[in-house]
Structure 1
Amino acid sequence: MDALTSPRPPRSAVVVNPVKVPDLDELRRTVTDALTARGWPEPMWLETTVEDPGAGQAAQAVRDGAELVFACGGDGTVMACVTALAGTDVALAVLPAGTGNLLAANLGLGSDLATGLGVVLQGGRRRIDVGVVGDRSFAVMAGMGFDAHMLDATNDTAKKHIGWLAYVAGALRHLRDRPMRVRIALDGRPAFTRRPRTVIVGNVGRLQGGIRLLDEAQPDDGLLDVAVLSPRTLRDWLALGWGVLRRKNTVARMETYTATRVEITSKRAQPRQLDGDLIEPGRNLLITVRPRALLLCVPQPATDPDLAHDAARAADAL
């Protein structure tokens, strides 16, 4: 019997990025009051730093006996907690506080504090896969090329004021960039070469704004879904975007694959991202999958494969 189904309320910890939270004292009161009202012990509180965006704090929480870790911050905070908790029986609960929150958007975890707490108190949980790049783990997507350029070009102030629409301005800056020259190897099969604008490797399928890029991606199928996007002109971009929005089986200038090991090698260093968070540029991106490695708090009932139903009802639990 795990901690979330045990009659004894679980011990918990909150890993919070103080930069993403306008009022830490109010956050602490809200979370503590919601948990103690249900008979849970007060959570431990651990703040992230510039040097450590959350992995060290989440690991410390596990060592101190936490059975559930709340990640409260943006995509970087969530990814750091995913890295620390993957492979353990400690559950991750997402309390969105940033502007991206790709995991919350993909898995129906809610977009506000009340909904996030309601999801946890309902007791739903699900084991999902994680992708691995070096010593980092991610739960949503990795990418090389245009998508990372877009993230780098997106203004933080704009994200704060207009949310995901800020990424549109970042994207427009790089629509006419030169394509990459890459070699892609999947699961030991013969490698192939392409000249794409970006290569995206997903554990789930939705981008910012709810756009579903990888229609077949499932978070617990033990596979990574790969999209190779190769538009050449503005007309190509428009056709690709229209095809994705209409969820066509075949989308112009986009190839899709599945694999458990994906290696992308470029002739020159390219921008790279994991779960919407930039990592250092590089010529190579090697991604593997750890099946069902992360225990995640999710809405109940977990009947939709993407869990993308309306999680707002969970807030009634508060």
Structure 2
Amino acid sequence: MLSRKSKRNNPHNRDSLLDMIPQLPVPAGPLIVLAVLILLAVIIISWMPTHRTEPSPEALAYLGLKDETFDETSPDDVPHKRVWVIANPTKPNNLEAFKAQVNRICQAMTGNEAQWLETTVEDPGTGQAIEAIQHEPLVVLAAGGDGTVRAVAAGMAHSGYPMGIIPAGTGNLLARNLGLPLTLEGALEVAVLGETRRIDLAWLHAERVVVPSDLPAEGGLLRAANASMVRSLPAGLAEPRPDEYAYLVIAGVGFDGETMANTSSKMKEAVGWSAYVFSGMKSLAIERMKATVTIFYPPGSDDVKRVRKRFSPIPRRVTEKIVASQTIGHKNSPTQAIHTEENWQMSVLRARTVLFANCADLPFVKLAPDAVIDDGVLDVIAIDTKGGLVGWLSVAAKIISMGVGLPLGNARKGLGNIVFKQTHKARIDINRAYPVQVDGDAIGTSRTVIARTDPGALAVRVPSRSF
């Protein structure tokens, strides 16, 4: 199983025992409790104060500013470089008023108005980022929701130029994970005067696709924009596949994918974060996945040595179960190996959802206690429930406990189970197609999902002295 330590208990025996527990009839009471807990979390996070930053001396020296206070009388002897803004035109209620406000603040801070590019349905920000890079920008800002942010980030990765964020979406998950202000003035102050932090970018692609995605993949957009002409990748790192999607916070398959697929833009505009709550309630009954999860480690890395110490070879009975389930033995599967090798480890599991987290802070909760956005690894999180809503209430209690810093206890026991594993690359093969999502964007359904990390790929502006 996906665990931090080897367990002597057979996971299949444990599942068998749990399967003997009858599915408990659940009255409306627990449903109301779960809804209240989630809505309470939404209310609490909406009232949390936003962060502000003081400009660092290094940033001031770079900009040529003499004062550490923001005012409209800042000197105009600043570098020729400009602030470029890549905006999703559907997010601000009044795009022209939004542009005017951003221009006024940029004029005051740098002496120049911002340069503007708008996203399109065909390209939600990746090609625009490549275009902005060609103008040697001071900083490139992504103005929109998490979808816009991840698309722009794909173009900015490995470019040598910093990226800033103007949160204008429903979740603004990356902004929250980085401690960015959620106000326009505060976000611009950080983007121009904050410090630069290197964070990881993550990539995901699907195979054995059943329902294709309506969204363009950032890997393909990078090739279309000739990104290799304006950025330099580290030695040994290839350009992303044409079908790879970039993300910065969390991706997954199963319950979370179905929740995102069922959440419409109109619903998010109408009720904000609560839209995910309502869609999630509808997705609670999603069928449990029968899957194999394969954890990969770079050849010769220390992780390989830890694998040798921690994990035994996959028992023959497990290998036989994998083949019998046709999870990876399916005739259309590209997977050939079904045995353990020194740099990877495979587990069979049942789960409602499997997540690949680059970081894991959500409003009020933290899904993975060890997930850090610049540690070079992904946190794979498998969540399973039994007993109907009782199982989901058990999972909710464990997640909320982690979010407030309480001991989690044994997360692998009970009707709601959570297991974790860290890796550079992971793959899940499933018995049938399930919905997939990246940073809140649904990207169709598939039976195979591969996620990987791109360590330190993105330079992003954060509040001064925040890390």
TM-score by length of 1: 0.89
Give the Cα separation in 2 of the matches to 1:272 and 1:110: 29
Give the Cα separation in 1 of the matches to 2:364 and 2:105: 29
Partner of 2:246: 137
Deviation at 1:4, TM superposition (A): 8.5
Deviation at 1:3, TM superposition (A): 8.7
Q: 1:152 aligns with which of 250, 255, 261?
A: 261
The C-alpha deviation readout for 1:208-252, integer Å capped at 9, x for no partner, is x33211111111111111110011221111011101101133334
On the 8 A contact 1:11/1:40 being kept in 2, the answer is no
Partner of 2:339: none
Q: 1:231 aligns with which of 385, 395, 415?
A: 385
Range 289-298 or range 274-283, more displaced: 274-283
On the 8 A contact 1:4/1:123 being kept in 2, the answer is no
Q: 2:355 aligns with which of 200, 220, 223?
A: 200
Q: 2:100 aligns with which of 14, 29, 44?
A: 29
Whichever residue aligns with residue 299 of structure 1, its letter is P
Partner of 2:51: none
Give the Cα separation in 2 of the matches to 1:295 and 1:44: 20
SS in structure 2 of the partner of residue 227 of structure 1: strand
SS in structure 1 of the partner of residue 198 of structure 2: strand
Q: 1:5 to 1:193 in 2, by over 3 A?
A: farther
Range 159-168 or range 190-199, more displaced: 159-168
Q: 1:100 aligns with which of 171, 175, 186?
A: 171
Partner of 1:17: 88
On the 8 A contact 1:12/1:70 being kept in 2, the answer is yes
Matched pairs, number: 301
Q: 1:210 to 1:92 in 2, by over 3 A?
A: farther
SS in structure 1 of the partner of residue 466 of structure 2: coil
Partner of 2:162: 91
TM-score by length of 2: 0.62
Q: 2:423 aligns with which of 259, 273, 282?
A: 259
On the 8 A contact 2:133/2:159 being kept in 1, the answer is no
Q: 1:4 to 1:281 in 2, by over 3 A?
A: farther
The C-alpha deviation readout for 1:244-298, integer Å capped at 9, x for no partner, is 1011333340001100011111122221111111123221111111111100111
Partner of 1:110: 181
Q: 2:133 aligns with which of 62, 80, 101?
A: 62
Does structure 1 residue 210 correspond to structure 2 residue 369?
Answer: no
Partner of 2:36: none
Does structure 1 residue 189 correspond to structure 2 residue 344?
Answer: yes
SS in structure 2 of the partner of residue 84 of structure 1: helix
Which structure: larger Rg?
2
Q: 1:148 to 1:161 in 2, by over 3 A?
A: same
Deviation at 1:133, TM superposition (A): 1.9
**Stretches of structure 1 lacking an aligned partner (at least 5 in a row):** 304-318
SS in structure 2 of the partner of residue 242 of structure 1: helix
Deviation at 1:5, TM superposition (A): 6.2
RMSD, aligned CA: 1.8
Write 1 or 2 for the structure with the bigger share of strand.
Answer: 1
Q: 2:118 aligns with which of 42, 47, 58?
A: 47
Deviation at 1:40, TM superposition (A): 4.2
Deviation at 1:70, TM superposition (A): 0.7
Whichever residue aligns with residue 179 of structure 1, its letter is R
Does structure 1 residue 222 correspond to structure 2 residue 369?
Answer: no
On the 8 A contact 2:141/2:191 being kept in 1, the answer is no
Partner of 2:287: 178
On the 8 A contact 1:205/1:212 being kept in 2, the answer is yes
Whichever residue aligns with residue 66 of structure 1, its letter is P
Give the Cα separation in 2 of the matches to 1:124 and 1:5: 12
